[in-house]
Amino acid sequence: MTRIAAIQMCSSHNVSDNLATAKMLIAEAAEHGAKLIVLPEMFAIMGASATDKVALKEPYHSGHIQTFLAEQARNHSVWIVGGTIPISCEADDSRVRAASIVFNAAGNIVARYDKVHLFDVVVSETESYRESDTTEPGSEHVVVVDTPVGKLGLTVCYDLRFPEQFIALQKAGAEIIAVPSAFTVKTGEAHWALLTRARAVDTFCYVVGACQGGEHSGGRKTYGHSMIVDPWGVIQEEAPASGNAVIYSEINLVALSEIRKRVPVAAHREAASRRSETMGAKHSGPTTFGL
C-alpha cells in the first residue's frame, strides 16, 4: 500500500503567502510518507474579487505558480495535483482556464484537466456566483494518468455533481479521483460529504477531496472538511471546517479490485447499456397501425 495526502488551505489574495503555506504543507505531507499530494482549488489565489485570478494568469508550462509546484515535486520526490491554476486562454484575455495540473516526482507536467462544469448558481438570495464570467470551461471530460499510487482521474469541485463524468473516468481506468474544491458553506453543509461518498461508491474509486476552508479575502467563506473516501464509501480521514490541514489515507488497490469483482457494477452497467441499444434498434423502424 502507498500513502496519499489531501491538503486543506484558507487561501487569500496574496499569492506569496499562499505559496509559502502550500510549501509548508507539502513538506509536512512528504515527511509523513505521502507519494501523491492533492492541493485545493484556487490554492494560490482566492482573490477579493473574481477577476483577481485573471490578472495573475500564466501561460501553460511557465509562470511562478507552475515553477513553484515543479520545484516542490522535485525537491520532495512526490507527485502533486496542483489544485487549480489560472492558465491563459488562447482566444479570450478576459478569462482563464481553471487548470488542474499534475506534476510527477521529477517536477515534470504529466497531465492537465481544465474544469468543465462551471459554478454559475444562486446559492441564496444574498449569495450567487458566475464563474463563467472569468473562467472558460474545458472541453475534455476524461483525463486519467498513471501514477505510482494508481490510475488517477482528474475533476474539480462542481464536477462532483455530475456522476456521469466520474463513471467515464472509472471506465477509462481510474482508481483514484482527485477533487480539488472550494465548496460554499451552505452547499457544503448539505451536500459535500454526501456527494463525495456517492461518487466513491458510483465508481468504487478512492475520492480525494482537497478543499478551501475558512473566510477569504473579500469575505467569501468556504466549507472545508477535506476528506478522503475509500471505494466502499467510508471516510478515511476528514479535516476540520476551517484552516490549514493535511489528511492521509493508505491506498489499497488489491482491496479495490476485490470490491469491483464482488460487486461488478461496471459490467452490469455495460450490459444494461447494450440491452438498451438493442431494444432501441428493434423499435427504430416505422410504426404502422391497423385501422
Residues with a known catalytic role? 41, 115, 157
Q: Which three cell numbers mark 143?
A: 483525463
Listed in sequence order, the residues at least 6 apart from 11 whose beta carbon sits closer than 8 Å to its beta carbon are 18, 21, 40, 42, 43, 44, 45, 46, 212, 216
Look at the alpha carbons of 88, 92, 96, 99 in this order and tell me if their dihedral is positive or negative: negative
CA distance 149 to 257: 14
